[in-house]
Amino acid sequence: MSRPARVWSLVAEQAASRGGRVSAADACLAAVAAVHVSGAWLLAASGTEPGHLMRVTDGVSELLAELQLTTGEGPGPDAAASGGPVLASDLDEPDAGRRWPAFAPAARLAGAAAIFAFPLRVGAIRAGVMGLYRTGAGPLSGFQLGDALLFADTATLLMLDAADQTVRHAAAPAGSTGSGPGGQTAELTLHRAEIDQATGMLTEQLGVGITEAFLRLRAYAYAHDRRLSDLARDIVARRLRLHPDPNPCTDEQA
């Protein structure tokens, strides 16, 4: 069996284990065992969009993905910008601290010692980033790196092939269950919706465009050491309101 065929077989087996159609999320999940890492995440994004989480394998990978969205730095954003893999085999190295002064120490506190990020792209088309992390420092072997690249390529093709799934998911009856486009879990679909809704609310509260509103959301989350999803939930629930000046206040203070 060829190497690409072996990788595809592992992805298909992952999908079969949950009884669903093969998706990009299955490539993310299958990569963990095959590449011998501690966890993984899949971020969908196009162009310069900040992106949305499609799949995480554990709490640490979810936190690492959110930290990169919040700080705007880390292996994931660098891989998306450069179009090539970013391999950080030891986050304790001085170079990692200089390159990602906000993200690197936060990632270490979260439990990651090494992170490997792979852009999901075909030619000029960019679909997102697949991230892998390890709790122990150390590089990927040549064989592991080759497998990781194939899993990323597979996730890319499956992500791009998920347009029809997106349409069906959007047209699904209210209250239906199951995965979102590309295999996104219901929980992450809710997180995405809350962040999008909070960003939309901030455009009205602050009188700014959608990009600036998301930057303000990220900046507040970073400054107050809060998770982006938790902050968005408070804004949507109107427990927190941001004003055009830099000082936020709760509705009771408004």
Where do the structural domains in the chain lie, given as residue ranges? 3-168, 185-254
| Block residue for tokens 């809060």 | 226
Helix (H) or strand (E) holding 40: strand 39-44
Its CATH architecture, for the domain 3-168, is: 2-Layer Sandwich (3.30)
What lies within 8 Å, CB to CB, of 134 at 6+ separation is: 37, 38, 112, 113, 114, 115
**Closest by Cα among 43, 55, 44 to 14:** 55
Q: What CA–CA distance (Å, rounded) separates 64 from 67? A: 5
Q: Are 117 and 75 in contact (CB under 8 A)?
A: yes
Rg (CA), the chain: 18
Class for the domain spanning 185-254: mainly alpha
Task: State whether residue 134 is helix, strand or coil.
Answer: strand
Q: What CA–CA distance (Å, rounded) separates 70 from 228? A: 7
pLDDT for the residue 167: 40
Helix (H) or strand (E) holding 14: helix 3-18
Q: What are the strands of the beta sheet with 86-88, ordered from one edge?
A: 52-56, 39-44, 125-134, 114-122, 86-88
| Block residue for tokens 């992450």 | 188
Per-residue pLDDT of the chain (254 residues; tens, 9 = 90+): 788 889 989 999 998 998 888 888 899 999 999 999 999 999 887 655 667 788 899 999 999 999 998 898 999 999 998 889 999 999 999 999 999 999 999 999 999 999 999 999 877 778 889 999 999 999 999 999 999 999 999 888 888 776 445 444 444 444 444 444 444 454 545 555 677 677 777 777 787 777 777 777 777 877 787 877 788 778 888 888 887 755 545 444 43
Q: What CA–CA distance (Å, rounded) separates 213 from 219? A: 10
Q: What CA–CA distance (Å, rounded) separates 161 from 120? A: 13
**Closest by Cα among 125, 126, 146, 148 to 40:** 148
pLDDT for the residue 191: 58
pLDDT for the residue 179: 46
pLDDT for the residue 163: 43
Q: Please name every residue paired with 41 in a beta bridge, in sequence order, or none if there are none.
A: 56, 131
pLDDT for the residue 21: 83
